[in-house]
Amino acid sequence: MIDIDLKFHQWQWQYQISTTFFVCVIVPSLYYIYSKYITNLPNKYNKLEEPIKLMIPIPPEAKKNWKGRRLYPLSIRSTDPTQIQSFCPATGQYLGTFHAQTKDEMNETIQKAKEAQKQWAKSSFIVRRKLLKTLNRFILDNQEDITRIACRDSGKTKLDAMMGEIFVTLEKINWIINHGEQTLRPSKRYGPSNLLLGMMKNAEVRYEPLGVVAALVSWNYPFHNLIGPILAALFTGNSIVVKCSEQVIWSSKWFVDMIKTVLKLLDLNEDLVQLVVCFPEDADYFTSHPDLSHITFIGSKPIAHKVLESASKELIPCVVELGGKDAFIVLDDVKNLNDLSSIIMRGTYQSSGQNCIGIERVICLPKSYEKLVEILSERVKTLRLGSDIDQLDEIDMGAMISNNRFERLQELVDDAVKNGARLLHGGKPYQHPNYPQGSYFEPTLLVDVTPQMQIFHEEVFGPILTMIKATDIDDAVELANGCEFGLGNSVFGADFSVINDIANRLDSGNVALNDFATYYVAQLPFGGVKKSGYGKFGGEEGLIGLCKVKSVVMDKPLLRLLGVATSIPPVLDYPIKDDKKAWGFITSLNIVGYDFRIWNVIKGFKKLARGGR
């Protein structure tokens, strides 16, 4: 009895010691390591940045089972030429009519943004983070409503929106909260390389707001594409005017109003964020406005030509993010082709294929090719089209933004089939029994595609999966590089060194190894090469791209302390008194500064000390 009691006592004692150790040492250390090295959350618990609670009423159209009338015929043009109509592409339901702005009205929005920015440029990172943290909280608390608003205007499924709109936006907000300030702090640089001058000078690069920046964003991610540039602009101290696509005005307006409400509740100027709505033919005025200091353009190549031409009139710098013809290379040693087929399906049919980094070409080595064609031909058939915006239906693929490009998609399929491709599924528009006005295109599987077909080269931006057979690795690389685009590619294989080598040979802005699109994360710069555009958004490069990069050189602190000022040496001062001495002085300065042969340096010093003689 006593023995047992003693043991129990001992056990309890040890238990208390280990618990205390765990709570006092292990937990704080783990937290320290986590916060410092893993997430680097310097200000997570800074009281001054505490997000505020807010309620913003959700519009009736964004409610579940909203009964909106169906529009017929489906068109953004209304009877009044100054108005643009919004509708849900999945159901044809009418969402509203919006006034297309005139040039004067556009100018007014830009002037408001310009005025508001003056104060905002001086705001602290604490205020800017508080703004982002409040938005972060609002998005987290209203995920479903925001998702439904994006779906209503784009026709995509709620799951597609959750992954492509909400997740990536939260990722971006949190990266900026955690790392934005660190990126924008002055960056210390080396002073001059000349030994003598380098001893006297310090140098740094400072990042200052540009002023009013603009973003012209595409409709495929109405929430993420719109809010991404706004977050980056506000955090860098700029104000921003966003021109949304005329396809998604209803949701864009709500999202911009939501940010304005947050600004107002935080006692900040709501004019910092402006929305421009206009017809494409009036966009020239906007993109050549002298008060814009930067343009981010997300869209297609033909429009990019117009934007750049117009922006060049005022020398407005642009980042252009255009389409891609992304390759998905599969080597023969990939083990689980079933799992791989899931990635291919998600990467192709997500948002009905309307993705700038969607999989446009699956390039396989022969053994994988045969097996993947077999697996995919079974799986693509099972995809269900429709809308889950109102009820939680088991739907795999939603609508496309409109039926404008159905004809072109069919032409591309027909051209491929005429040139020897096999159409295993789909290839035409789909009339949905429940949503006859919806813009649906059948999930399409096209195999045996070759570079002789138009579809090999032209961006599809739709739900068409194309399979291309490569003879070997060199052939696969050549095929992948054999188009005018270069946005993002994926490579799959069992041997890492082999796929890593392929990554180095691919002509593209981004590569994912044994994965798809994972480079689209907030900490990395995103953008393409070749005809996919230029410039980067996202990551440190994206934030810095929205700043005036100012190089500043100053005397070293010790010199400032001693009151030593650098000045022109008398021998070089106007008027030159002795040309020979001046010449000797300047050549010696070069020798002392840049020659590594010690005797020359000593001789150079001597000559300098003699004033160049």
Ligand X SMILES: *[C@@H]1O[C@H](CO)[C@@H](O)[C@H](O)[C@H]1NC(C)=O
> According to the binding rule CB under 6 A, does residue 111 interact with ligand X?
yes
Contact 543, 183 (CB under 8 A): yes
Which letter, b or e, does each residue of 343-381 get, where b requires 16 or more Cβ atoms within 10 Å of its Cβ? Answer: bbbebbbbbbbbbbbbbbbbbbbeebbebbbebbeebbe
Q: How far is the CB of 291 from ligand X (least distance, A)?
A: 7
**Pairing relation of β-strands 444-447 and 488-492?**
unpaired
3-state SS record for 487-509: CEEEEECCCHHHHHHHHHHCCCC
Cα separation, 18 vs 549, whole angstroms? 53
Please answer whether residues 198 and 192 qualify as being in contact, where contact means their C-beta atoms are separated by less than 8 angstroms.
yes
Which are the contacts of 185, defined by CB distance < 8 A and separation ≥ 6? none
Active-site annotation holder among 321, 442, 458, 459: 321
| 509 within 8 A of 527, measured Cβ to Cβ | yes
Cβ distance 219 to 245 under 8 Å? Answer: yes
Beta bridge partners of 275: 242
Q: Which member of 156, 224, 289, 536 binds ligand X (CB under 6 A)?
A: 289
Q: How far apart are CA 327 and CA 151, in angstroms?
A: 28
143-to-66, 136, 158, 227, 231 alpha-carbon distances in Å:
18, 10, 10, 14, 18
| Binding residue for ligand X, selected from 35, 43, 97, 107, defined by CB under 6 A | 107
Which residue's Cβ has the minimum distance to ligand X?
107
> Given the complex with ligand X, which of 128 and 243 has the nearer CB atom?
243
CA distances in angstroms from 396 to 273, 353, 360, listed in the order given: 35, 12, 19
Tokens 């492509």 identify what position?
164
The reply to whether 105 sits near ligand X by the rule CB under 6 A is: no
Q: Does 112 bind ligand X (CB under 6 A)?
A: no
Minimal distance, residue 315 CB to ligand X, in Å: 15
| CA 456-329-162 angle, 5° bins | 90
Q: Map tokens 């953004």 to a residue.
A: 76
Our answer to whether residue 321 is catalytic in this structure is yes
Q: Would you say 103 and 282 are in contact if contact means Cβ atoms under 8 Å apart?
A: yes
Minimum Å gap between C-beta 114 and ligand X is: 10
Binding site for ligand X (CB under 6 A): 107, 111, 289-290
For the annotated catalytic residues, the residue numbers are: 321
